[in-house]
Amino acid sequence: MRSRSPHIPRATPLFLLAAAGYLAVGLYLALGVGYLQGDALSRVADTRAALLSRDPHLAAIGFIFTPLTALAQLPLVWLSEWFPQLTRWGLTSIAVSAPAMAGAVVQVHAIARERRCSAWMTWLLTAGFALHPMIIYYGANGMSEALFVFFVVWAVRRLVRWTTTDDVHDLIVAGLALGLAYLTRYDALAATGTATLLVAAVAWYRSRRGAVAVLDGLLVAAPTVLAFVVWSATSWLITGSALAQFSSRYGNAAILEQSGGGSAGGLEAIAFSAAEIIVMAPALALVGVVCVTLAARRRDPEPLALLLPLAVLAFATLAYLRGLTFPFLRFYIIAVPLLVLCAVFLAPRHGRMRARRPGPRPVDRADDPSRWTTPVSAIAVLAVVAGLPVSAAAMLSPELSQEQHALHAAILPRLGYPDPELRREQEAIIASFDTERRIAEYLDSLGLEDGSVIMDTMQGFPIIASTSHPQTYVIPSDRDFVTALNDPAAHGIEYLLTVPNEGRGAADALNLRYPTIYENGSGFTSLEAEVVNSGHDRPTWRLWRVVGS
């Protein structure tokens, strides 16, 4: 008999409240401060190129990043043809990340309620997760982390249910959530692999039948496998590369090489990752050990689902150790829900887990009569809440938080650092894309014909996001980009926008075709303008007018 889950009546108000809060913070950062994240803005530009460029086609979204964050923005980006402010300030990406992170809050709350935690514990842990400064920031800035956290926590919840109910519906939804997580971030492969092994092991332990273990494992792995095959095959058919993230000059490997990021490996890299996890979730080690101990004592299978976020953390640590990623705090954000859920599982199980159709081997949820579980749970909740100021302080540290420390200048502008050079750097980070917005406004004011300006979007993505006339630009996703670049005059190109031929600019398409274009115009252009960039680590632009062939 079907029964309604007890958390549903409370889910909608909680979701709306959290989404409104994250959206409000995002609007303040974007419109009030002008502080935008480059990765979020680049996805906005890619989506705009797919819809509103002079050569619109869905493949213009690109194959460097998995596509879900961009695809989710399509309806709002389409409106930017009439309201360009939606993309100029990255509002379309914020409209995706805010409800996604609110969905993660609802899932955490649902896990606690289905565990039958007490009301005070449920709401304090929900608040501890929702109000964590990294959760707030990544719910508000339009990055892919919000969707990723939502899908992973959703998968954890469904696997928690499956370990008790043996309901195939929970297993199907968990697999679907992991497949969507892969279409959001590549890190999901670690979670899917772990979930597959976990499900197969639990199914074999219960049934002692290899066929059941294999089928259950395949059920949870199938959506991710399908997403991987379809995405890689599509990339290979269109670009000639199945894994553009690693082979393209726009991919992560190329960016690391061009910018000198990554780590040298060894104990120093491991220590850095450990420090990032500690400041993200200060009580994780202590609460995690207690959680494992209690689960073993109670013979409780539900905490096994926490191996999924743990696998994501291990993947992030290994990737940085191998020099494959940047030293960014956000790569360890999954430690926040991991800590909160460890605290949830300190509480003893109560009552029967409701299921749509319980499987043949459900597990009874026996109560734990121990008197000391309530004090332990209270201490864990206190540890979660007490760790929030530690994480907030870490986010303002240039050593621990390269991407977020400029928030100090955005949120606490009157409380300056003793080091004026660091203060200027933070202000430049906040102003990262001001120059590109001014360039877009200037070129818009010229009333140019479609296809009059050619540039690479490696550094020019903020211009595509900001312009009111994206059809003015010839960009690498246009199918005639190479022929137009080879003979700009013959294809109606009036201007070339160039960046210095160094660092990331060394992979710029214009510099690859005309190595001296930035220095001397390569003999067929005249310098129209040079625009010194006010942003941190952003290039000085040169606008060249085509005068010959």
Cα torsion for 286, 289, 292, 293, to the nearest 10°? -110
What's the CA gap between 336 and 39, in Å, rounded? 22
CA–CA dist 486, 490 (Å, integer): 9
Q: Which of 125, 200, 205, 203 is nearest to 387 (CA)?
A: 125
Nearest Cα neighbor of 38 from 143, 135, 147, 140 is: 143
d(CA 309, CA 190): 9
Contacts of 145 (CB under 8 A, 6+ apart): 97, 138, 185, 330, 333
Cα–Cα distances in angstroms (integers) from residue 256 to residues 155, 406, 512, 536, in the given order: 31, 22, 19, 18
**Predicted confidence pLDDT, tens digits, the chain (549 residues):** 344 444 445 689 999 999 999 999 999 999 999 999 999 999 999 999 999 999 999 999 988 889 999 999 999 999 999 999 999 999 999 999 999 999 999 999 999 999 989 999 999 999 999 999 999 999 999 999 999 999 999 999 999 999 988 889 999 999 999 999 999 999 999 999 999 999 999 999 998 898 999 999 999 999 999 999 999 999 999 988 888 877 777 777 777 777 666 777 789 999 999 999 999 999 999 999 999 999 888 888 999 999 999 999 999 999 999 988 889 999 999 999 999 999 999 988 776 777 777 767 777 666 666 666 788 889 999 999 999 999 999 998 989 998 898 888 888 776 656 677 888 888 899 999 999 999 999 999 999 999 999 999 999 999 999 999 999 999 999 999 999 999 999 999 999 999 999 988 999 999 999 999 999 999 999 999 999 999 988 999 999 999 977
For residue 481, the one-letter residue type is: F
